[in-house]
Structure formats: C-alpha cells, structure tokens
Structure 1
Amino acid sequence: MTHLVLPQDANPLGHGHGGVILKHIDTAAGMVAMRHVRGNAVTASIDRVDFIRPVFVGELVHLKANLNGVGKTSMEVGVRVEAENLTTGEVRYTNSAYLTFVALTVDGKPSEVPPLIPETEEDVRRQHEAAERRRMRLAMRCREGQ
C-alpha cells in the first residue's frame, strides 16, 4: 500500500503524524488478514512501534505487509514502512510493526483461520519467528493476569 503524505497528515514539525502512520499500518495489515480468511478480521493487538526515522510531507509512505503466522482464530501480520522522497528517489526504512488479527464470522464470533502454507525459506523463517513472538505475547498476558 502506498500513501502520499499531505499537510493534513502531519504534526507541527511537518513530519507524518504517528497516529496517521499507525492507521495506515493497521489498514495494510487488515487487508492481508482479510484476504487470507476471505472474511472479517479485526485488530486484536499491535506490538511495540518505534518511529526510527521521520516521514515528511510530500513523501510517499510504502507499507509492505506479510502474513507471518496463524493460530486457530488469530493471525500475525508484519508491516514494514518505508518513506520515498519523490525528488531524489531516496527510499529509507522508517519503522515496522507486528499486528495480531482475529478472524470473525458474520455474527462477530471468532472463526477458524485457514492454515498458512510456506512457499519459501523466508516464509518458514517468518512462521518460526511469529510462533516465538506468539509464545512471548501469551506469557506476558499470563504475567499481567489476563
């Protein structure tokens, strides 16, 4: 997904507003999740997001989203964000995030997610890393008493 950063998307410094970038991250990830289940999917969580480099007004924001792993009713989607200066052609990494989505029936109840079949070694690596992050999320939730 690509978005042109306009003045209404900026904070007072002229940088892309973090909330606007997060909205685009959530939208890109949501499209990946819904395409996988061919139905409804909602955001359950977003892991920590660090804004490493700013995005400026007039630049393109490229969001590259991948389905990394699936559970019974949930999915992890990773999103990489890059900014492109249209004048110089420079492309730079700005941040990334992992989001968890839950598939829902038309009645709003969790529904089973189709399996994710890896096609490349990169897909296998992503699945293993997603499984480890899921274990860490569940352990953290247990520690927080949820």
Structure 2
Amino acid sequence: MRAKTPNESLAVLTDLVLPGETNYLDNLFGGELLARMDRACSIAARRHSRRIVVTASVNHVAFNKTVPVGSVVTIEAKVSRAFNSSMEIYVDVWIEDRQSGEKTKVNEGIYTFVAVDETGKPIKIAQVNPETDLEKERYEGALRRKQLSLILAGKLNPNEATELKALFN
C-alpha cells in the first residue's frame, strides 16, 4: 500500500445556510454544522482508504465565529494522519463574504474515522505522506492527540506516551 498525500483525500463541501437551519439569532445551529463537518470528513476518510468508514470520535470542535443565515459555507476536510485502521481528519470551515468574496475561517474540528470491511471489522489502510508545512504540523500533532485520547480512555499508560512526554522534557 503506497502512502497518500493529504490532497488525495481532500473533500470540499460548499452550501448555503437557510433560515430553517438557524437558531433565534439567525446563526447556523451548531449541530447542523457538526453534521456537515462529519459528512465532509467521511468523504475524505473514504477517499483515503477506499473502504467503508465510520466515525469513531469527534476529538475537537471549535466554534470560533457564528455562521449567519444566507452565508455560503465551505468545509474542507483532509486526512492528517493514518494509523493502522484509523484516520485523523482535520476539517476547516470557511464563510464567504457576499459582497467581496473574501473567505474567513470560522470553525475547525478534528475527527477520527475507522476503515472497516463489510462485516464492520477494522482493516489496515495506507499511511499519509504530508507535503506542506501545515500538513506536516497536523501530521506530527496527530500522534500526540491520539496518545492523549488513549490515556484518557484508559487504553494507554501515560509512561508509554512518548510523543506527549517529549513536549515536557
């Protein structure tokens, strides 16, 4: 299995925020945005693995800015790192100014997906070969984030989290 670049897994979804998808302040519901982000991440994970994929966890979501009704929203998802059967997908959310066309980053998230066979059993997938500085930064951070998640879940002894320990030494 050859390693793939993050761009080979890129998923971009662009959509309009409609009034029925907003709260009383006319901003996009957080849950609606999470669903859109999950779909984009699912496409990226599927493109990377060429397998059935399932959401394993939502590791981080930052709602940094509101998304007003009428906004054009673009969601960009890329696999930042692949492990044995799991993949970390980093997703960025942008809105476009209706007048100038200028894009502003409003949200981001980190999801974990697992590639499975037709019976739901996890299967091995190709690794990721980061190219840009941002891809390399996200790739390196993915192992630390995975180790932290495993520690919090009680599946890894903190003394074995070498990447995390290196941050403090």
So what's the TM-score if we normalise by structure 1? 0.91
Q: Which residue does the alignment assign to 1:31?
A: 43
Offset, 1:88? 3.8
Percent of residue pairs identical: 35
Letter in 2 for 1:94: V
Residue 41 (structure 2) pairs with residue 41 (structure 1): no
Q: What corresponds to 1:15 in structure 2?
A: 27
Change (3 A) 1:14 1:48: same
- 1:61 correspondence with 2:42: no
**Residues of 2 paired with 1:75 and 1:134: CA distance?**
10
Kindly state the Cα deviation for residue 33 of structure 1 after the two structures are TM-superposed.
0.2
Q: CA–CA distance in 2 between the matches of 1:96 and 1:123?
A: 15
- Does the CA contact (< 8 Å) of 2:73 and 2:93 recur in 1? yes
- Asked if 1:86 corresponds to 2:98, the answer is yes
Aligned to 1:4: 16
Q: Deviations over 1:116-145 (max 9, x none)?
A: 1233443332211111111111111118xx
| CA gap 1:124/1:93 in 2 versus in 1, 3 angstroms | closer
TM-score, structure 2 as length reference:
0.79
Kindly provide the amino acid, as one letter, of the partner of residue 69 in structure 2: V
Unaligned runs of 5+ in 2: 1-12, 156-169
Residue in 1 aligned with 2:146? 134
Amino acid at match of 2:129: I
SS in 1 for 2:110: strand
C-alpha spacing 1:124/1:90, structure 2 compared with 1 (3 Å):
closer
The aligned residue for residue 123 of structure 1 is 135
